[in-house]
């Protein structure tokens, strides 16, 4: 039974339009005109308990709007949403106990207080007993590597430590479904890896369901077997990362180290030339022509080394979004 059900979900924002100049301002006050922004359009998907799903899309694609509808912060214009059996917009207490929303660019911990004080407030809000509070703070502190940090005012923590403390606060009530909007935003590579490792461990330990947006593809490839791709409010792909590559990257990258330099004209007969750096060449070759082309390269050129890989996923997704392929 899916824990997240989204059926034909749409959100239209009315946006007041103001013409420039004084006349426009006056008209704006007297009689406002509105235009509609179709932020999310007929999106449907389901997520099973324990899945970790990546939610990808360029800026303004509709990711945050979808997450806000899934957590009940805004009302859908049409369509159906169920999370853990609840209608999110009703914001029932039992629903709020089951979910959490973490937004990388927003914080819930109070700046001047030690994180532990904010955690105590959360414990009261979520009716967590003293015993559970101690156990959970202890366990999450260890998992997040935050020992000794919770007694310092939040403003004295590093960005990475603060994000981890935010996660601790967001998970104190042991939610089953985690909605994470850019949880590693602005963190350095080490801190990103720390947060990523923690999320993987948390998912495995509690079979928590995770829907995650991130601009860092490394987060997605490390954590998510499945991705949803949204573009201009439309869901354009739902499936495995591998399937995404096959569908949107009908080519593979062939890297060849040659014994001696070959002209670009000669090389380009084997595929689309990506880079030529001295005797090192990168080519894009259509998947269906791969075996044939590799055999030709080996037969016709003096090759020291040859490797075949998938092109970087960022590049594939970038191409999809630029082309707007559905």
Ligand X SMILES: Nc1ncnc2c1ncn2[C@@H]1O[C@H](COP(=O)(O)OP(=O)(O)OP(=O)(O)O)[C@@H](O)[C@H]1O
Binding interface with ligand X (CB under 6 A): 13, 15, 37, 39, 57, 59-65
Name the minimum Å distance from CB 184 to ligand X: 14
Name the minimum Å distance from CB 15 to ligand X: 5
Nearer to ligand X, 65 or 122 (CB): 65
Nearer to ligand X, 6 or 258 (CB): 6
CA–CA gap between residue 172 and residue 100 (Å, rounded): 10
Q: What CA–CA distances, in Å, run from 307 to 44, 187, 262, 292, 294? A: 39, 33, 18, 15, 10
Nearer to ligand X, 65 or 141 (CB): 65
Q: Length of the chain in residues, anyone? A: 326
Nearer to ligand X, 32 or 296 (CB): 32
Residues with Cβ within 8 Å of residue 210, at least 6 apart in sequence: 51, 52, 53, 177, 178, 180, 199, 203, 223
The dihedrals phi and psi of 298, each to the nearest 5 degrees, come to: -65, -35
Name the minimum Å distance from CB 68 to ligand X: 8
Name the minimum Å distance from CB 210 to ligand X: 17
DSSP 238-273: EEEHHHHHHHH--EEEEEEEESS---HHHHTTSSEE
Q: Is 182 left (phi over 0), alpha (psi -120 to 50) or beta?
A: left
Name the minimum Å distance from CB 198 to ligand X: 23
Nearer to ligand X, 172 or 210 (CB): 210
């Amino acid at each position: 039974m899916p824990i997240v059900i989204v059926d034909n979900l749409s959100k239209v924002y009315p946006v007041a339009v103001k013409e420039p100049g004084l006349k426009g301002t006056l008209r704006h006050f007297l009689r406002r005109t509105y235009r509609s922004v179709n932020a999310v359009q007929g999106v449907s998907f389901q997520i099973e308990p324990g899945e970790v799903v990546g939610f990808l899309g360029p800026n303004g694609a509709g990711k945050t709007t979808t997450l806000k509808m899934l957590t009940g912060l805004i009302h859908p214009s049409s369509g159906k949403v169920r999370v853990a059996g609840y209608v999110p917009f009703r914001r029932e207490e039992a629903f709020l106990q089951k979910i959490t929303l973490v937004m990388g660019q927003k914080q819930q911990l109070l700046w001047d207080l030690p994180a532990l004080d904010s955690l105590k407030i959360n414990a009261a809000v979520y009716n967590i007993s003293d015993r559970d509070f101690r156990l959970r703070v202890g366990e999450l502190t260890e998992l997040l590597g935050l020992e000794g940090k919770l007694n310092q005012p939040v403003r004295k923590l590093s960005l990475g430590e603060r994000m981890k403390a935010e996660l601790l606060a967001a998970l104190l009530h042991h939610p089953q479904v985690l909605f994470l909007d850019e949880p590693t935003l602005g963190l350095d590579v080490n801190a990103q890896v720390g947060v990523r490792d923690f999320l993987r461990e948390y998912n495995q330990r509690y079979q928590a369901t995770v829907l995650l947006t991130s601009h860092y593809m490394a987060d997605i490839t490390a954590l998510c077997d499945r991705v949803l791709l949204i573009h201009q409010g439309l869901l354009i792909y739902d499936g495995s990362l591998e399937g995404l590559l096959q569908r949107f990257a009908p080519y593979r990258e062939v890297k060849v180290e040659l014994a001696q330099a070959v002209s670009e004209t000669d090389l380009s007969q084997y595929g689309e030339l990506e880079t030529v750096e001295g005797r090192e060449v990168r080519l894009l070759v259509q998947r269906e022509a791969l075996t044939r082309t590799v055999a030709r390269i080996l037969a016709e050129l003096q090759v020291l080394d040859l490797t075949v890989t998938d092109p970087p996923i960022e590049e594939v997704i970038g191409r999809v979004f630029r082309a707007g392929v559905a």
